[in-house]
Structure 1
Amino acid sequence: MALGHRTRAVIGSIAAAAAFGALLTGCSASSDETAGAAEQVEVDPELRALLPGELLAESTRITVGTESGYPPFEYTNEAGRIVGFEIDLFDAASDRLGLKYTFHDMPWDSLVDELYASNVDVVAAAMSDTPERQVDSDFVNYYNDSDAIMVPAGNPGKIKTLADLCGRRVAVLGGTAVEDYTSQQTALIALNDNECKTKPVTIIPFGTDADALAQVQAGKADAELTQWSTGVYNAKQIGSGDVFEVANTEILNPTPLGFRFLKGDVELVRAYQAAVQSIIDDGTYAKILAKHDLSVGALETATVNNQAASQ
């Protein structure tokens, strides 16, 4: 991406908060208001120097798109602030770069359009890094997750595997356009093309994970397919831990997650890759993972598009 385009993206994203206010729903949070990482993170001047020149001014902020109905990655706490594992991680990486930001909360199926329109500079929304998305986006990977089949407690449908979803109604976070599909939605579509071809899954996409899970609780869906970490969190947190359970015991569709940037936004991508690697190396990353009970999916190396950064 040309430097001029990057400049327009930054300036445009700040103006877009007002001009496109109708598209940005829910609450917002800035780097001054987030809960922060497990410990204080200091600026590294060498890493800060990796940022594009127009981001080096002290007053500069980038705009980050998120969908806050997805605990433990991002959610709104009782004080109305957007918090969670990914928020803490992005906050720590940004602190290492000395870069301020503003989070904007919006529906899942608006995130990519806002990124393409340069109304946000990066998406932080527990987004899976897939080859299809890498065609027009670059990812800085920070975690490896798998999928969970969420069912009512007691598992009345006796669902244990993806094949058991054939002929069932399954809710999922996702959109109606191909570019808005989540990896879970794509997995269900693939299931209908193969094991469930004669008894297809009825796929019901929703703009938030909470809405998808509510369909299961209301009996309008037999199951929800979601990310493992989110499923385990919800099974423990909702009610007294006796409302939902994770049906599968085997790992399903392990997928790297990453911060998503416009394709070719090379300097910003490299800066965040280096910043995430820095907090992995100094132990900050491990503390953030432990805080959110997510150590099982830890990475040793922050990659770009699931590939080690070139030296």
Structure 2
Amino acid sequence: MALGHRARAVIGSIAAAAALGALLTGCSTSSDEPAEAAEQAVEVDPALRAMLPGELLAESTRITVGTESGYPPFEYTNEAGRIVGFEIDLFDAASDRLGLKYTFHDMLFDSLLGELYASNVDVIAAAMSDTAERQADYDFVDYYNDSDAIMVPAGNPEGIKNLKDLCGRTVAVLTGSTQEEALAGLNAAECQDKPVEVVQFDTDADALAHVQEGKADAELTQWSTGAYNAKQVGSGDIFEVANTEIINPTPLGFVFLKGDVELVRAYQAAVQSIIDDGTYAEILKKHDLSAGAIEKATINNQPQG
């Protein structure tokens, strides 16, 4: 099967999924399982479904979705072993609007773009920031606005308030993230005399644990994830977000391979549809994320005509 200009992997073959090998770190879940999403039913819109590539219109077709399930509140694994979260609910609602089934593959964040480029997955749903650099090879359907959080131990013993305060300190970060890039830029611009010692981790949880163990002064992560962890880890008295000013605001989006025009436009229209009918606001409220709401679903952060 082909989507756009590349051959695509569809979950008709378990052997194809197994080729990901050690990169697969968790379970798979599909949209035809009982949804833990918004209570409002999301019905198929025939006009939007008709926007899908023809090869995806067969009832038996599933696309594959790459994710990294250690990033609450966007994606995480519940006690039943199911991947849940804000982005999961949102992708589920958009897919239901299109009448399109899918299966998740849980893998390391740093491997996601490579697996998409190799056509081992059809789309990424992993709270990924839409940046100009990534747009060179990928297209984004933006669904949320977020920024960065500096996570520190409760009480902020080092008095860290902003990015410049990280100069000369050890900072943990998720490998392959825009936060890692931000720290590299900080070293080049502000911290040349006292560079940040950047320690990379495969998961956000491991990066945060490095702070808890006293091996790093701070972690740089996305604001929504940092705020969630500050409230949820322990009794809410282990970590706090140090910065009060907005750092590195950027949209987040579902990620597609460059050239999958029909699939991108279909998901953009589906996300806009659930914004317009109130489903989006309901999902945001469920996850306490209304502060980052958007009014228009964009492609590559550009208004749609």
Please report how far the alpha carbon of residue 205 of structure 1 lies from its aligned counterpart in structure 2 after TM superposition: 1.2
CA contact (8 A) 2:8 2:120 kept: yes
Is 1:259 matched with 2:258?
Answer: no
Q: Distance in 1 between matches of 2:232 and 2:252?
A: 23
Which aligned pairs between 1:143-182 and structure 2 lie closer than 5 A? 143-174=144-175, 181-182=176-177
* Aligned positions, number: 302
Please report how far the alpha carbon of residue 79 of structure 1 lies from its aligned counterpart in structure 2 after TM superposition: 0.7
Q: Choose the corresponding residue for 1:235, options 230, 240, 247.
A: 230
Q: Deviations over 1:193-234 (max 9, x none)?
A: 011111000111111110110000011110000000000000
Q: Distance in 2 between matches of 1:271 and 1:256?
A: 19
Q: Distance in 2 between matches of 1:241 and 1:208?
A: 20
Q: Deviations over 1:55-107 (max 9, x none)?
A: 00000000000000000000000111000000000000000000000011111
Q: Structure 2: state its 5+ residue gaps.
A: none
CA contact (8 A) 2:74 2:86 kept: yes
Give % identity. 79
Q: Partner letter of residue 26 of structure 2? A: G
Q: Distance in 1 between matches of 2:39 and 2:143?
A: 16
Name the counterpart of 2:67.
66
Q: Choose the corresponding residue for 2:178, options 163, 183, 189.
A: 183
Q: Structure 1: state its 5+ residue gaps.
A: 175-180
Which aligned pairs between 1:120-135 and structure 2 lie closer than 5 A? 120-135=121-136
Name the counterpart of 2:279.
284
Please report how far the alpha carbon of residue 109 of structure 1 lies from its aligned counterpart in structure 2 after TM superposition: 1.3
Query: For the aligned residues, what is the CA RMSD?
Result: 1.4
Name the counterpart of 1:177.
none
CA contact (8 A) 1:12 1:118 kept: no
Please report how far the alpha carbon of residue 4 of structure 1 lies from its aligned counterpart in structure 2 after TM superposition: 6.7
Secondary structure of the residue aligned to 1:124 is strand
CA contact (8 A) 1:74 1:125 kept: yes
Q: Partner letter of residue 22 of structure 2? A: A
The 1:277–1:92 alpha-carbon spacing in structure 2 relative to 1, beyond 3 Å, is same
Q: Distance in 1 between matches of 2:279 and 2:266?
A: 17
CA contact (8 A) 2:4 2:259 kept: no
Q: Deviations over 1:134-166 (max 9, x none)?
A: 000000000000100000000011100100000
Q: Partner letter of residue 252 of structure 1? A: I
CA contact (8 A) 1:144 1:257 kept: yes
Please report how far the alpha carbon of residue 35 of structure 1 lies from its aligned counterpart in structure 2 after TM superposition: 1.8
Q: Deviations over 1:240-292 (max 9, x none)?
A: 11000000011111010000000011000000000000000000000000000
CA contact (8 A) 2:110 2:202 kept: yes
TM-score by length of structure 2 reads 0.96
Name the counterpart of 1:212.
207
